[in-house]
């Protein structure tokens, strides 16, 4: 270790992995991972979300899995909970959609209407 | 008095100890480490081993003997095949460790600190093992038995008698 | 670096390891691999979570789900349900986190953790102690970097002094002052020593720090080395702590690889190396002068001070000796500043203190609270009180050097001065709770037996005096004591306190004096009434057969001295004159018809 900068760089690299163990986050992204969700391809979606969040250093976002959300035909389902806002439910999500959800919704605050459950009703 | 150790039979062991001492020539204060290593090699520290250490290090035998007998972890007598250590830390004690120790002593027919005649068990009272959440605790070799009741003792011992 | 979507943290502290947590970790890895999730889920062995009573403990992130009392079958279910399908297995979640059925409570909201403030233990149970990167991610070695690149040794000492940090090993001496005594002494070599010879029975905070956050200790040692001008450090660890030693070895290796120990740290001209030295089971080696004797390879016997180690220490060179928990605070103080540290605790005792809660208490484990927290908060709010509805009787603090505190003291704010004023002491932070089933004469005898055994034998008051005290206590607990014995005991205790050479002897009478002070009635019961109210002192006990006896004759057959008589299907009787109080009959009775009183 030759300088403080070198240490700080190593710290930045190491910190991403540990962010997972911080439970005090405001935004929760939840992926339905019951048998139905997994069969419909929820696993790559979950992994994409985890990677995107880590890559962009979104330290206030927790990506978690949950059981069956109850609408098996619409899986993979991703729900986003933000404080003082209504829950947003995305359906039929895949990896590409997941990337857009992170970029547009979580980073920029614009809900990706076309992927939401509301959009499919219309 | 314990039986003497046959130096010839233990040639390999003495060679290992000699190598260890030579590897530490440059280190200050190697007495404790040397004794720990010797006890690892021989299982205990008979007078022959102490003499050997004194000769190799140039430390007077009286001093070696003094250190060996000061620290409870060094033993000048051989130990049984299985070492039973009952934790007598405060947390274990207030939860009845003394009763466990008494029961073991009765079950094995030996006093604390002694070894059974068949050389199978050595019974010892140890200092706090640090797993106070499991009090009262005993260790047989590397196995930890927690939340003990006196009733369980005969069964546990029987396992080791095989 | 790979990013995992979930982390499974398995406690690898000594308590949980004793209940096979390593096998649990392996089972997790195996099961996760079976369903091909090993690239997505990371299994980590951490240091102690503190709630040892509930071990083995597992925490699953990102949810922070707290699973307690784990077993191998439970692992299988958690892997297939929680990790694979996202359904938290509620029935295995620590009961207190599961009160409301919808959402599992976060760890920080559990009563056990709510009142805690983790400074020394901040990384225990959070990081993998065998991975230096995880320590660095938690600001590790930043303090060392800051000290070496931005501060002079004088500034470091001033900062530590300003923080008011006191030694957590027992005596409570100002850490900054200690450093300042050693700094100006000129010598070709100076040493820093980390005292990890944690000998107080029932105290295991130092071990937990070493096991859970070894790098914090190494970093702090390097900082103290820079402050006083020492380039060599020794960690003196009890040989009874194999896991701690193993983790320290790994930590030293990793720090050397990254150049965080060794030559020219952070591009400065400061070199620092650390070596581990093992103890061999001698309590007195926790005393600093005895400890140095032991490192040098002699019998661990203490010597007179002065000269203090800061002047003449290890091999005659200026040396400072700090306890593990003290050191674990240092990097935090450097990073956050003395004001931050002083924002916890009381004016005279700033910061936090780790306590090892044990004995008759529901939540056995390790807790860290700000100084000034009351005993009641620690024992009841965090510790959950005494189990099985038994009444709290006393809490013993400070180990063999401390004393007992009673119900009336529960609202005492814990700090160095308050505990000393009540006849106990902070010590290293053992807190053993006792209930009505514990006999205080027996407890005093227990501690004295410990000091008699551990006295190094150098000075007469400690070698002979404690032995005489023990003999008197033995007499009392056998029902042969007299009132004069009690006076003699107090007299002797005072003499030993005044004349013993080192801290071990000077404090050895404390458990006796404090129990006489607060439980004189129990001593009197043993001396005058010849009874042991708690039913512990063997010689004063009587075994009796109650009306529940079915006359099965089992007890009569097992009694080694033939003290039990009675006909088949009739009530049996024990001849008290013959009974040797071995308890064999009580163990043998299938009807719980034999009582000890």
Distance from CA of C87 to the nearest CA of B (A): 30
- For residue C100, cis peptide bond before it (omega within 30 degrees of 0): no
CATH number of C440-527: 1.20.1440.230
CATH number of B82-161: 3.40.30.10
CATH number of C132-341: 3.40.50.11540
pLDDT, tens digit, for every residue of C463-490?
999 999 999 999 999 999 999 999 999 9
**How many beta-carbon pairs below 8 A join chains B and C?**
136
Q: What is the chain A residue with the closest CA to C2?
A: A17
Q: Where in chain C is the domain with CATH 3.40.30.10?
A: 6-107
Average pLDDT over residues A11-15: 89
The continuous run of DSSP H or E covering B121 comes out as strand B121-126
C164 close to C174: Cβ distance less than 8 angstroms: yes
pLDDT, tens digit, for every residue of B93-131?
999 999 999 999 999 999 999 999 999 999 999 888 878
Judging contacts by C-beta atoms under 8 Å, the chain C residues touching residue B36 are: 239, 278, 280
Specify the pLDDT at position C103.
57
Q: How confident is the model at residue B142 (pLDDT cuts 50, 70, 90)?
A: confident
Q: Which residues of C450-488 are buried (b: 16+ CB within 10 A; e: fewer)?
A: bbbebbbebbebbbebbeebbebbbbbbeeebeeebbee
Of B66, B93, B106, the CB nearest to C446: B93
Q: Which of C32, C358, C63, C24 minimizes the C-alpha distance to C208?
A: C358
Specify the pLDDT at position B18.
95
The superfamily in CATH containing domain A22-121 is: Glutaredoxin (3.40.30.10)
Answer whether residue A20 shows pLDDT above 90: no
Of C240, C277, C456, the CB nearest to B32: C277
CA geometry: angle C61, C65, C71, nearest 5 deg: 105
Q: What is the pLDDT along chain C (597 residues), one digit of tens a residue?
A: 578 989 999 999 988 998 899 999 999 999 999 999 999 999 999 999 989 888 899 999 998 899 999 999 999 999 999 998 888 898 899 877 555 545 566 677 788 888 999 999 999 999 999 999 999 999 999 999 999 999 999 999 999 999 999 999 888 899 999 999 999 999 999 999 999 999 888 888 999 999 999 999 999 999 999 999 999 999 999 988 888 999 999 999 999 999 999 999 999 999 999 999 999 989 999 999 999 999 999 999 999 999 999 999 999 999 999 999 999 999 999 999 999 999 999 999 999 999 999 999 999 999 999 999 999 999 999 999 999 989 999 999 998 999 999 999 999 999 999 999 999 999 889 999 999 999 999 999 999 999 999 999 999 999 999 999 999 999 999 999 999 999 999 999 999 999 999 999 999 999 999 999 999 999 999 999 999 999 899 889 889 999 999 999 999 999 989 999 999 999 999 999 999 888 889 888 999 999 887
Q: Token match 């003792």: residue?
A: B153
C340 close to C244: Cβ distance less than 8 angstroms: no
Specify the pLDDT at position C99.
54
For C56, C77, C434, C565, C581, the CA distances from C578, given in Å and listed in that order, are 46, 56, 33, 11, 9
Q: Where in chain C is the domain with CATH 3.40.50.11540?
A: 132-341
C165 close to C350: Cβ distance less than 8 angstroms: yes
Q: What six digits make up the tokens of A19?
A: 């962010």
Of A1, A33, A65, the CB nearest to C266: A1
C378 interfaces chain A, CB cutoff of 8 Å: no
C224 close to C272: Cβ distance less than 8 angstroms: no
Q: Where in chain C is the domain with CATH 3.30.70.20?
A: 542-596
For B7, B144, C32, C463, the CA distances from C75, given in Å and listed in that order, are 52, 21, 10, 53
A5 interfaces chain C, CB cutoff of 8 Å: no
Task: Write down the domain spans for chain B.
Answer: 11-70, 82-161
Q: To the nearest whole percent, how much of chain A has pLDDT over 70?
A: 98
Specify the pLDDT at position A121.
55
For B67, B88, C258, C294, C597, the CA distances from B71, given in Å and listed in that order, are 7, 17, 37, 10, 39
Phi and psi at residue B88, to the nearest 5°: -115, 35
Q: Do chains C and B touch (3 or more CB pairs under 8 A)?
A: yes
Q: How confident is the model at residue B64 (pLDDT cuts 50, 70, 90)?
A: very high
Percent composition of chain A: helix, strand, coil (DSSP 3-state, to 5): 50, 15, 35
The superfamily in CATH containing domain C6-107 is: Glutaredoxin (3.40.30.10)
Q: Is A109 exposed, middle or buried (0-12, 13-18, 19+ CB in 10 A)?
A: exposed
How far is it, in rounded angstroms, from Cα B32 to Cα B34?
5
How far is it, in rounded angstroms, from Cα B133 to Cα B108?
27
Contact A4 C145 (CB under 8 A): yes
Q: What is the chain B residue with the closest CA to C400?
A: B90
- Over its C-alpha atoms, chain A yields an Rg (Å, rounded) of 16
pLDDT, tens digit, for every residue of C103-117?
566 677 788 888 999
Specify the pLDDT at position C143.
97
CATH number of C352-435: 3.10.20.600
Domain C542-596 has CATH 3.30.70.20: yes
List beta partners, residue A79.
A30, A89
């Amino acid at each position: 270790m030759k300088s403080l900068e070198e240490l700080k760089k190593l710290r930045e690299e190491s910190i991403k992995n540990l962010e997972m163990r911080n439970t005090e986050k405001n935004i929760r992204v939840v992926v339905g991972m019951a048998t139905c969700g997994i069969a419909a391809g929820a696993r790559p979606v979950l992994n994409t979300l985890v990677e995107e969040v880590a890559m962009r250093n979104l330290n206030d976002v927790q990506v978690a899995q949950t059981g069956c959300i109850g609408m098996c035909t619409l899986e993979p389902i991703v729900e986003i909970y933000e404080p003082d806002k209504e829950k947003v439910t995305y359906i039929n999500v895949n990896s590409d959609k997941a990337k857009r959800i992170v970029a547009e919704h979580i980073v920029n605050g614009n809900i990706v209407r076309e992927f939401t459950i509301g959009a499919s009703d219309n | 008095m314990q039986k003497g150790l046959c130096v010839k039979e233990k040639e390999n062991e003495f060679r290992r100890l000699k190598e260890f001492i030579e590897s530490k020539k440059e280190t200050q204060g190697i007495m404790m480490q040397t004794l720990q290593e010797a006890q690892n090699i021989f299982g205990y520290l008979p007078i022959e081993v102490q003499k050997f250490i004194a000769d190799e290090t140039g430390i007077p035998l009286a001093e070696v003997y003094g250190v060996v007998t000061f620290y409870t972890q060094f033993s000048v007598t051989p130990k049984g095949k299985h070492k039973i250590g009952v934790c007598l830390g405060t947390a274990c004690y207030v939860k009845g460790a003394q009763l466990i120790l008494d029961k073991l002593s009765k079950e094995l027919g030996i006093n604390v600190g002694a070894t059974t005649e068949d050389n199978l068990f050595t019974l010892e009272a140890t200092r706090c093992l640090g797993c106070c959440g499991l009090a009262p605790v005993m260790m047989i070799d590397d196995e930890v038995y927690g939340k003990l009741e006196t009733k369980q003792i005969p069964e546990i011992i029987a396992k080791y008698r095989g | 670096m790979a990013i995992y979507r979930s982390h499974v943290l398995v406690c690898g502290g000594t308590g949980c390891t004793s209940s096979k947590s390593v096998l649990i970790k392996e089972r997790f890895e195996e099961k996760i691999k079976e369903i091909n999730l090993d690239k997505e889920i990371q299994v980590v062995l951490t240091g102690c979570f503190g709630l040892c009573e509930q071990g083995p403990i597992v925490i699953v992130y990102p949810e922070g789900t707290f699973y307690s009392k784990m077993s191998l079958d439970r692992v299988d279910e958690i892997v297939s349900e929680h990790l694979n399908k996202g359904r938290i297995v509620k029935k295995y979640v620590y009961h207190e986190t599961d009160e409301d059925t919808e959402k599992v409570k976060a760890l920080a909201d559990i009563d056990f953790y709510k009142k805690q403030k983790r400074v020394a233990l901040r990384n225990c149970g959070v990081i993998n102690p065998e991975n230096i990167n995880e320590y660095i991610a938690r600001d590790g070695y930043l303090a060392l970097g800051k000290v070496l690149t931005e501060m002079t040794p004088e500034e470091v000492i001033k900062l530590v002094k300003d923080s008011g940090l006191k030694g957590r090993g027992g005596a409570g001496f100002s850490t900054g002052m200690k450093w300042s005594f050693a700094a100006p002494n000129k010598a070709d070599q100076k040493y820093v020593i980390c005292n990890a010879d944690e000998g107080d029975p029932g105290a295991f905070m130092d071990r937990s720090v070493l096991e859970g956050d070894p790098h914090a200790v190494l970093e702090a040692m390097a900082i103290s080395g820079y402050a006083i001008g020492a380039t060599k450090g020794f960690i003196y660890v009890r040989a009874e702590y194999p896991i701690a030693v193993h983790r320290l070895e790994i930590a030293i290796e990793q720090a050397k690889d990254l150049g965080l120990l060794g030559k020219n740290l952070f591009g400065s001209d400061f070199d620092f190396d650390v070596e581990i030295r093992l103890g061999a089971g001698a309590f007195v080696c926790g005393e600093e002068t005895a400890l140095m004797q032991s490192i040098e390879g002699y019998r661990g016997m203490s010597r007179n001070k002065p000269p203090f180690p800061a002047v003449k220490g290890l091999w005659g060179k200026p040396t400072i000796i700090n306890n593990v928990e003290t050191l674990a605070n240092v990097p935090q103080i450097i990073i956050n500043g003395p004001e931050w540290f002083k924002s916890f605790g009381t004016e005279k005792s700033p910061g936090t203190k780790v306590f090892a809660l044990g004995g008759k208490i529901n939540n056995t484990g390790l807790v860290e609270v700000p100084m000034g927290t009351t005993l009641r908060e620690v024992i009841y709010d965090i510790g959950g009180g005494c189990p099985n509805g038994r009444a709290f009787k006393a809490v013993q603090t400070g180990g063999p050097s401390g004393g007992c505190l009673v119900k009336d003291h529960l609202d005492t704010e814990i700090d160095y001065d308050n505990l000393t004023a009540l006849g106990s002491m902070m010590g290293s932070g053992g807190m053993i709770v006792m209930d009505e089933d514990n006999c205080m004469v027996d407890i005093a005898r227990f501690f004295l037996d410990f000091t008699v055994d551990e006295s190094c034998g150098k000075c007469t008051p400690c070698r002979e005096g404690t032995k005489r005290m023990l003999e008197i206590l033995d007499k009392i607990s056998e029902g042969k004591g007299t009132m004069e014995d009690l006076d003699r005991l107090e007299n002797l205790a005072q003499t030993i306190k005044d004349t013993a050479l080192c801290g071990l002897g000077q404090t050895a009478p404390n458990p006796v004096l404090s129990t006489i002070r607060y439980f004189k009635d129990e001593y009197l019961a043993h001396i005058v009434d010849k009874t042991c109210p708690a039913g512990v002192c063997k010689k004063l006990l009587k075994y009796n057969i109650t009306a529940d006896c079915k006359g099965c004759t089992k007890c009569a057959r097992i009694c080694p001295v033939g003290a039990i008589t009675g006909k088949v299907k009739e009530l049996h009787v024990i001849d008290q004159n013959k009974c040797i109080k071995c308890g064999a009959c009580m163990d043998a009775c299938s009807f719980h018809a034999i009582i000890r009183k």
